[in-house]
Copies of this chain bind each other. A is one copy, B any other.
Amino acid sequence: MAHHDLNVVHQQCGDCPIRHRAVCARCESDELQRLEEIKYYRSFQAGQTVIWSGDRMDFVASVVTGIATLTQTMEDGRRQMVGLLLPSDFVGRPGRDKAAYDVTATTDLVMCCFRKKPFEEMMGSTPHIAQRLLEMTLDELDAAREWMLLLGRKTAREKIASLLAIIARRDASLKLKSQKSALVFDLPLTREEMADYLGLTLETVSRQISALKREGVIELQGKRHVTIPNLDRLMEEAGDDSDGGFLN
């Protein structure tokens, strides 16, 4: 496994994250070539819908830059976000041809898409890809289940703290900054999107954020720019023993 390590492979992979997810460039260069042939890029503006639940979906894709969300909606309009896609995350499922949720770009977004048919054929012939995808899907499943605990049992305050902790940690690991100094970031979501993610209303989100600010657990510059003076303190508020779910 050693030289399948993501970071090592990354250097050779150029601009498309799926490659260092699905295959190793060093030992599978012919596969890489084939992936190259079936891939194409799509861009979306912030707010645009990538695909609606129930629509035909003839590709699988990974996020190159930007953020996308997966949401489910009831007929009366109640919404629940069920996933947050960050750069290098994967969408779509081999074996089904309808999208199961709405996929929306919350920021400007670039995705790297692969036509589904040939992608599936590749999976049949190259065990690496299915295995890597399985691993990723299991991670997502763990994250989803972590989120079920949050939705079912945590208080509003704990929910907010959990979300902030996850974003902070993901952000820190992404930037690979030297110190805890990395605990400064811009919220990639509006209050309403946070509410949809956490199973709350936007008013409750706003109030709880204000409360955390008032009590010094977080600091705010403007509406979106957050500083975490003490991550341990925040994690205490989150009531979380584990490693934070949506962290890869």
A5 to B192, CA, bound (A): 44
How distant is the Cα of A101 from the Cα of B138 in the complex, in angstroms?
13
Residues of A157-203 whose CB lies within 8 A of B: 198-199
Q: For residue A83, which residue of chain B has the nearest CB?
A: B145
Do B134 and A124 touch across chains, with their CB atoms under 8 A apart? no
Question: Which among B76, B95, B140, B149 is the interface contact of A141 at CB below 8 angstroms?
Answer: B140
Bound CA–CA A170/B91 (angstroms): 27
Determine the residue in chain B with the shortest Cβ distance to A152.
B199
> Is A38 on the interface with B (CB-CB < 8 A)?
no
For A100, the chain B residues whose CB sits under 8 A away are 142, 145
Is there a chain B Cβ closer than 8 Å to A231's Cβ? no
In the complex, A130 has a CB within 8 A of chain B: yes
- Chain A residues close to B by CB (< 8 Å): 70, 72, 74-76, 78-80, 82-83, 93-96, 100-101, 123-127, 130-131, 133-135, 137-138, 140-142, 144-149, 151-154, 198-199, 239, 241
Does A198 contact B138, Cβ atoms closer than 8 Å?
no
The one of B125, B134, B153, B239 in contact with A130, judged by C-beta atoms closer than 8 angstroms, is B134
Say whether B140 contacts A131, CB under 8 Å.
Answer: no
Q: B153 contacts A78, CB within 8 Å?
A: yes
